[in-house]
Amino acid sequence: MAAFLARPKPLNVAEISFVEAGGATKSLTDWKGKVVLLNIWATWCVPCREEMPTLDKLEAALGGKDFEVVAVNIDRGGGDKPKSFLAETGATHLSLYTDPTGKLFSVVKAVGMPTTLLIDREGREIGRLVGAADWDSQEALALIKAAITASASA
């Protein structure tokens, strides 16, 4: 988590949109009231493959009314390949979200893969991490729990 960069001032990203497996458009406003870990990944990204099981474990451990991991795939060509990728990596607790426009990567000004944004309950980015991380580590759990607690009292 040493690579996690906290924003000095939260940045509103609530209007970021993508598509759920059923085809409906979602935006971060759909998660208002929850802390979200928005992970941007691709099937061709080797670090993403290594990271996905830890994101799944994080969702299994903390996912619920206060927190959710929202992993958005940026591959082109539909959801079959990303769906297989999630199954291959054992990610059974994560929902499939995709970005068919291919614009999400540039909208969040990502500079590497994967890119993960920590979003507060108001839809504001409070920090990000570029590159793979061990999201089920004690350090990551402490970071997420602190964000949940901080935004509950705000």
For residues 123 and 31, the answer to whether their CB atoms sit within 8 Å is yes
- pLDDT tens per residue, range 99-126: 988 889 888 999 899 999 999 999 999 9
Domain with residue 79: its CATH number is 3.40.30.10
Residue 118: helix, strand or coil by DSSP? strand
Range of the domain at 73: 5-153
The pLDDT score that the predictor gives to residue 151 is: 66
In the sheet that holds 124-130, the strands lie side by side as 5-12, 124-130, 115-119, 35-41, 67-73, 97-98, 17-20, 25-27
* Structural domain count of the chain: 1
Q: Are the CB atoms for 113 and 73 separated by under 8 Å?
A: no
The pLDDT value recorded for residue 147 is 95
Mean pLDDT of 35-46: 96
Q: How many Å apart are CA 85 and CA 69, to the nearest integer?
A: 17
pLDDT 10s digits, 47-83: 999 999 999 999 999 999 999 999 999 998 888 899 9
